[in-house]
Amino acid sequence: MSARILVVDDLAPNLHLLEVKLAAQYYDVVTAMSGTKALDIAKNEKLDLILLDAMMPGMNGFETCMRLKSDPETWHIPVIMVTALEESKDRIRGLKAGADDFITKPIDDFNLMARVKSLLRLKMVTDQLLSHTGHSIETSRPILDRLDKRHGRILIVDDHIRKLEKLAGPLQETHEVILQSDPKGALEQAGMNMDLVIISLTSEKFDGLRLCARMRSDAKTRDIPILAIGNPEDQAKLVRAYDIGINDTLMRPVERQELLARANTQLKRKFYADSLKEDFNESLEMVVTDPLTGLGNRRYFDRSVAPLFDELAETGTPFSVVVFDVDHFKRVNDILGHDTGDTVLKEIAARLASNMRCIDIVSRYGGEEFVVAMPDATQDAALLAADRVRALIGGTPIHVDGQAFSVCVSAGVAEVYAGDKFRDVFKRADDALYRAKQKGRNRVEGAEIQKAA
């Protein structure tokens, strides 16, 4: 099932134009010609995103957005306001009403789709966190309200000192701000508990896009929100920034209040995601953590991750599973003892957890078998990741009581297909693991690709 987007505009030609553009990208589009109708649809249908015209008769877009964001049932739906108004004060008004982004008429298709994809990614991650923690949309809203006044640590990166100081001004009143003009230093500082990074895309001495890309590829920084600042005439660069994975953009010349509003929006999202992750970790530790390795156990995987496979198999979102198994583990126990065997399992678990992506879910499924759920990963991508980890585990000795020895793993990889249940994809991965064992161990095998009927 594709993402479901509500388009709201009182003019039928505008409504139809956006509907056609989005449908061409295979989104499921719902329409409304008034704010009142939009509120009704949002409360009664499952939506992933709302495109909301700012200027409508009766209840305008600003009022509609404020009501959506104050309702416990609809506050979580991302809203992009569509407006012909180019004044910064109008954007600030919308941001204060709760809008997640703005797009100005006439609408640039590439810019529109980049922002849509960015917010849909955010919605998917939030939904997954809510699902994992057991919070409902209604009960999690108070968490967000409590985070409104939290102070954040913000890193601003620009090669022009005066621009840095000017950007820092409005933010320093409520947040801790660190200034950096060197991209290498910025990457190091970003990994030191930053809550937001603001990067100039107009710097002359370094490539701001490259810095954004490096942040998204580094495990320490890939989850930190990025606010990119660019020139309005350079739309191609801004679209590319969204493709890389930034969270928001701001145009020069920068208006102080708009900067503060956009920064606060990103910080609130970050604090909310952090809060959900903390709740998730605490609940897992009580009932679904393997006491030896600290990973999720089979109970957690079966109850929490397996149903997620069933859901994503229907959406067409890439999702893969990797089954790892320690080669000749019985020999380790028989020759070196069970205490050493436990140490081996703990070390392999640590290497798996630290070398997979932060969105991957690593579990000890039983004995010497580990399972990794890889959202947004095709089988080919999962094969590459699994083989990289296999080589790292086998190529790095394990040290126990002054002795060093190597242990290898084999792995099987399979991708979720439409109509799959978890048992289907797990069996394909397990069969691939069996083939890896038959072919000599210390290798990775992929499941046979299913051909469309």
106, 135, 164 - which closes a domain = 135
- pLDDT at 285 (0 to 100): 65
Domain contains 142 = no
Residue 272's pLDDT band, with cuts at 50, 70 and 90, is: confident
In this structure, are 239 and 317 located in the same domain? no
pLDDT digit string, tens, across residues 277-311: 777 666 656 677 888 998 988 888 887 776 776 66
Do 344 and 261 lie in a common domain? no
Per-residue confidence (pLDDT) for residue 448, from 0 to 100: 85
Q: Is the pLDDT confidence value at 425 over 70?
A: yes
Active site residue 368: yes
Same domain, 426 and 344: yes
Q: Flag whether 453 is in a domain.
A: no
Domain boundary among 254, 280, 306: 280
129 plus 151 within the same structural domain: no
The reply to whether 430 falls in a domain is yes
Q: What is the pLDDT of residues 45-57, one digit of tens each?
A: 999 999 999 999 9
Domain contains 316: yes
Residue range 142-152: average pLDDT? 65
Give the residue numbers spanning the domain of 442: 288-446
Q: What is the arithmetic mean of pLDDT over 437-443? A: 95
Is 431 found in the same domain as 357? yes
**Do 300 and 434 share a domain, yes or no?**
yes
Spatial separation of the C-alpha atoms in residues 30 and 19, rounded to whole Å: 8
For residues 369-388, give the mean pLDDT.
94
Domain match, 171 and 301 both:
no
Entry pTM:
0.56
Partners of 250 in the beta sheet?
Answer: 229
Of 102, 135, 168, which marks where a domain is finished? 135
DSSP string computed for 143-197: HHHHTTT---EEEEE-S-HHHHHHHHHHHHTTSEEEEE--HHHHHHHHTTT-SEE
Same domain, 159 and 110: no
What CATH number corresponds to the domain at position 181? 3.40.50.2300
Q: Mark whether 328 and 436 lie in a shared domain.
A: yes
pLDDT value for 12? 95
The SS3 assignment for 404 reads strand
73: pLDDT strictly greater than 60:
yes
Model confidence at 453, in pLDDT bands (50, 70, 90)? very low
**CB of 110 within 8 A of CB of 235?**
yes
The tens digit of pLDDT for each residue in 339-377 reads 999 999 999 999 999 999 888 889 999 899 999 999 889
Domain membership of residue 452 (yes or no) is no
Residue 415 included in any domain: yes
User: Which percentage of the chain shows pLDDT scores above 90?
Assistant: 56
Question: Quick check: is 108 in a domain?
Answer: yes
| Three-state secondary-structure class, residue 66 | helix
* Position 140 in a domain: no
pLDDT at position 372 is: 95
Domain tally for the chain? 3
Residue 217 is predicted with a pLDDT of 92
CATH code of the domain in which 394 resides: 3.30.70.270
pLDDT digits (tens, 9 = 90+) for 211-237: 999 999 999 999 999 999 999 888 889
Backbone angles phi, psi at 31, to 5 degrees: -125, 155
DSSP code at position 199: E
Q: Find the catalytic residue in 258, 347, 368, 415.
A: 368
Q: Assess whether 358 and 425 both reside in one domain.
A: yes
**pLDDT score at 107:** 87
pLDDT of 437 higher than 80: yes
- 408 in the same domain as 262: no
Please give the pLDDT value at position 147. Answer: 55
pLDDT of residue 286: 65
Nearest to 155 by CA among 181, 124, 125, 133: 181
**Can you tell me the distance from the alpha carbon of 428 to that of 414, in angstroms, rounded to the nearest whole number?**
6
pLDDT tens digits, 92-140 = 888 889 999 888 888 888 889 988 998 998 888 777 767 765 555 655 5
State mean pLDDT over 183-195.
Answer: 94
Shared-domain flag, residues 200 and 152: yes
